[in-house]
């Protein structure tokens, strides 16, 4: 059932897009890989899950997951990034790894390592469009992704704050000389990135109806691949690469067997890195000059 597969792939791709965007907001501006984003996503998922089962409506659950993840993102920035910002790139990356170890352990202790299941009554209606079935949650994921990406694009492209962000991404030192407060913007990038990861977590947890503390590990690495394929420097890349990889994955599972899919995704990522390091949609400029 090809069309059904495409729809499922699109939903998975939407989540990749959000998470890839979350990675690239920090990566594009600071050049570091925030490995804790995968765990912010997972924690967001659990918070949303907990709120829904406690009887709160969906918007509250989404907001809860978003705020929770954003608050942790602030802590990570303050404790794990600020003091290390002039260290070699691998050092702050490993401090975010420290946070990811902590968050995973805390989640395991709070919610247990067994998968949590959403009771059946929380699954929304199924709509049939001819031969294709779309769940209510699936629709919400797709719509929310479009809205959130548009929102982030608006913030980054149109607001003074976004202009400053792009200036810092372009050249931190020059931006500082021109009076842009790099510190405040760094914090902003972390908050935006954390919020997105949190929302993505709630959406995917409710869509699948199940969650484990290892959700972040499974999807996080994939999201990094999506970020690279789309290009670490702009937003539209993730919007194209997310659905592309989501669909490619679902199709390889459907027609090639479930285990070749990682091979395909990461192979494609390496190919992009080598042949088009600026990503699918990136312009001519690429920044590969950073030192480890």
Partner 1 sequence: MSTYYASLLAESGILLLGALSVYIILATGQLSLGNGAFMGIGAYLSSWLTVALNVPLTLALLISAIAAGIIGAIVAFPALRLKGIYLAMATVGFGEMVRSFFLNFDAMGGSGGYRGMQHISVGYVWLWAGGILIAVMLLERSRVWLEMQAVHDDETAAGLIGLNTTVTKIGAFGVGAAVAAISGGLFAHHNVYIEPANFGFDRSIEFVLAVILGGSTVGPGSLVGSLLLVFLPEFLRPIADWRLAAFGTLLIVVLLVRRQGILDRSLIRTLTFRRAAA
Binding site for partner 1 (CB under 8 A): 27, 31-33, 79-80, 83-84, 87, 89-91, 93-95, 97-102, 104-106, 109, 217, 221, 224-225, 228, 257, 259-260, 262-263, 266-267, 269-270, 273-274, 277, 288-292
Residue 236 CB, nearest distance to partner 1 (Å)? Answer: 20
- Residue number, 127 or 255, with CB nearest to partner 1: 255
241 CB-side CA count, 13 A: 33
Report in angstroms how near the CB of residue 257 gets to partner 1 at its nearest: 8
Three-state SS at 129: strand
Q: How far apart are CA 90 and CA 290, in angstroms?
A: 11
The CB-of-124 to partner 1 minimum distance in angstroms stands at 34
The backbone torsions φ and ψ at residue 86, rounded to the nearest 5 degrees and listed phi first, read -100, 10
The Cβ of residue 19 has, within 10 Å, a number of other Cβ atoms equal to 31
The residue among 31 and 209 lying less far from partner 1, judged by its C-beta, is 31
Classify strands 210-211 and 116-117 as parallel, antiparallel or unpaired: antiparallel
| 251 burial type by CB count under 10 A (0-12 exposed, 13-18 middle, 19+ buried) | middle
- On the CB side of 291, CA atoms within 13 Å amount to 3
Q: Among residues 101 and 178, whose Cβ is nearest to partner 1? A: 101
Closest to partner 1 by CB, 87 vs 178, is 87
How near is the Cβ of 217 to partner 1 at its closest, in Å? 8
Task: Compare residues 95 and 195 and give the one whose CB is closer to partner 1.
Answer: 95
Q: What six digits make up the tokens of 177?
A: 């000389």
Q: How far is the CB of 272 from partner 1 (least distance, A)?
A: 9
Tell me how far, at minimum, the Cβ of 127 lies from partner 1, in Å. 35
Residues in the chain: 292
* Structural contact between residues 281 and 52, judged by C-beta atoms closer than 8 angstroms: no
Task: Please identify, using beta-carbon distances, which residue of 8 and 104 lies nearer to partner 1.
Answer: 104
């Amino acid at each position: 059932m090809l069309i059904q597969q495409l729809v499922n792939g699109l939903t998975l791709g939407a989540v990749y897009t959000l998470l890839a965007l979350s990675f690239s907001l920090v990566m594009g501006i600071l050049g570091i890989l925030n490995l804790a984003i995968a765990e912010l996503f997972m924690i967001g998922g659990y918070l949303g899950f907990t709120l829904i089962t406690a009887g709160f409506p969906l918007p509250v659950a989404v907001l809860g997951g978003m705020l929770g993840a954003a608050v942790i993102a602030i802590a990570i920035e303050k404790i794990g990034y600020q003091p290390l910002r002039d260290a070699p790139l691998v050092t702050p990356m490993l401090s975010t790894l420290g946070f990811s170890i902590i968050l995973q352990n805390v989640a395991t202790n709070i919610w247990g390592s067994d998968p949590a299941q959403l009771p059946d009554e929380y699954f929304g209606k199924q709509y049939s469009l001819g031969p294709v079935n779309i769940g209510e949650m699936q629709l919400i994921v797709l719509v929310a992704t479009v809205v959130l990406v548009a929102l982030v694009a608006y913030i980054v492209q149109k607001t003074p704050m976004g202009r400053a962000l792009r200036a810092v991404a372009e050249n931190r030192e020059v931006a500082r000389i021109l009076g842009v407060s790099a510190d405040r913007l760094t914090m902003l990038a972390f908050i935006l990135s954390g919020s997105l990861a949190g929302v993505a977590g709630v959406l995917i947890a409710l869509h699948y109806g199940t969650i484990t503390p290892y959700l972040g590990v499974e999807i996080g690495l994939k999201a990094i691949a999506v970020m690279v394929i789309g290009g670490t420097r702009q937003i539209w890349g993730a919007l194209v690469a997310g659905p592309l990889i989501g669909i490619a994955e679902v199709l390889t599972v459907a027609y090639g067997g479930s285990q070749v899919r990682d091979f395909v995704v990461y192979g494609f990522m390496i190919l992009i890195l080598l042949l088009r390091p600026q990503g699918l949609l990136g312009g001519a400029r690429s920044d590969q000059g950073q030192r480890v």
